[in-house]
Amino acid sequence: MKRFFYITLVTLFSALNLPAQNTERQINVTIYNNDLGVIREIRNVNLNKGIGILELGNVSQKIDATSVRIKFDGSVLEQNYQYDLVSLSKILEKYIDKEVTLIGERDELIEGTLLSIANNQAVIKKKSGGLTLLPNLSAYRISVDALPEGLITSPTLKLHLFANNGGSQELELAYMTAGMTWHAEYVAVLDKDDKNLGINAWVSIQNNSGTSFKDANLKLVAGEVNLLPKNYNRHEPEPTMYFDSMEKGAGAQFEEKEFFEYHIYNLQRPADVANNEIKQIQLFDGNGIPVVKKYRFLSDYYGAAGKRDVNVIVEFENKQEFGLGIPMPKGKVRIYKSDGSSLEFVGEDAIDHTPREEKISLKLGNAFDIVAEEILDDYKQISKNVYESTFTLKLKNRKKEAVTINVVKNVGYNWEVKNNNQPYNKVDADTIEFNVAVKADAETELKYTLRYSY
């Protein structure tokens, strides 16, 4: 009697009864910011002394096979990465010119040789002669004799090796994989006076490597490591769906330390890193951080005429005395503030990798009640190589309290400020700034001339 293997167009039966090696695994997962993971596993394996074959399943579908390192009591003679995974289309492709059976909704049978399968359509050569053309296979199950040789249920490393001793021993497997990344997310809350800030940091870990890692020792590396371009072909199936997961816990969950020229965050407990999942874990929580709110107007080189927006900026320092003082990974910062009854969103910005003791500046949006109007009053040539541009900047404050507006001007090179009615600071070779005080519900004009010599 023939043994039939049934497939539907919606799913494959899970009971494929394929041989597999079940080995205990100790898994270490290190994830970088730039689509890179490093996997290190300790597996208990049974080997025969001498030359043999060992199959290591459940490796990443996006493994860089050239990065694999194997360590055990012996040596690897040959390594093959097999990734021809079981799927409906793969099975049917291998049954071209072979006998199949189609089972209809009322258990009617269509038997014959499969000549073609594509786009949910099939051509069957009947045993009695002639062809059966099926323009839509959705109403049929397909039966084949067995799983075709060469198809596997999970990506597998097949090793030809020489074992110095037989029996049970530990084998260390390490490799690099694409499809893994992480970034930081920060949620901050301003107090009612915009003087202090509470900030909660989370890491978002994304795994699209095609493989899940259970009870892994998880490490995150903050920093930009140099990687060569990926100029080789690799089997990279697309992720099909995502699941959000939030893990909450009391106290610090990550231990941070310096690592080469980067920083590494070591989760202090095992974690599941599931395939096609975004996992969030709390990094740290800080409160009572002093902040400074600023209003900033950016003036371009030519002083484009017309009304322009004034940015709202908040700044704080990454210092231990302010409740922080740890390296902060790059990520998005979302700011909230209470309106008296609930927290409301007031803006967001991104930070780069920020060492401790450094200042962080966040642009939250534009001030509603402050207007800047810039005018190029005059442009003239003083001599053959000397030119002058005269500017007026009208700053209008419609708020009920006085403000100071930080005006930042790109001035180019070979410049000199003349006839200015407000003091300025030289920021760098081509930038100056004015800090202009404007009273409540009032206007102030900033006037100055730039002289250029060429």
Q: Which CATH architecture has domain 87-144?
A: Roll (2.30)
**Total number of residues shown for the chain:** 454
User: Would you place residue 246 in the very low, low, confident or very high pLDDT band (cuts 50, 70, 90)?
Assistant: very low
- So what CATH class is 370-453? mainly beta
CB-based contact 273:203 (threshold 8 Å): no
Q: For position 152, what pLDDT does the model report?
A: 54
CB-based contact 173:43 (threshold 8 Å): yes
Q: List, for residues 182-218, the tens digit of each pLDDT value.
A: 988 999 999 988 999 999 989 999 999 988 999 999 9
3-state secondary structure 145-183: CCCCCCCECCCEEEEEEEECCCEEEEEEEEEEECCEEEE
**What's the one-letter identity of residue 328?**
M
First to last CA, the chain: 96
Residues 169, 172, 177: CA angle, nearest 5 degrees: 150
The residues spanned by each domain of the chain are 87-144, 370-453
Q: For position 79, what pLDDT does the model report?
A: 86
Q: What are phi and psi of 184, to 5 degrees?
A: -95, 150
Q: For position 305, what pLDDT does the model report?
A: 65
Q: For position 188, what pLDDT does the model report?
A: 93
Q: Which two tokens stand for residue 413?
A: 């090179």
Q: For position 163, what pLDDT does the model report?
A: 93
What residues pair up with 203 in beta bridges, in sequence order?
Answer: 184, 281
Indicate the burial class of 322 (C-beta count within 10 angstroms; 0-12, 13-18, 19 or more). Answer: middle
- Average pLDDT of the chain to the nearest whole number: 81
Q: For position 349, what pLDDT does the model report?
A: 94
Sheet containing 370-383, strands listed edge to edge, beginning at the edge strand earlier in sequence: 306-308, 370-383, 386-397, 442-453, 415-418
User: Would you place residue 421 in the very low, low, confident or very high pLDDT band (cuts 50, 70, 90)?
Assistant: very high
- The answer to which of 172-176, 226-230, 297-301 has the lowest mean pLDDT is 226-230
Residue 88 pLDDT more than 70?
no
Q: List, for residues 39-76, the tens digit of each pLDDT value.
A: 999 999 999 999 999 988 888 888 888 889 999 999 99
Q: For position 296, what pLDDT does the model report?
A: 95
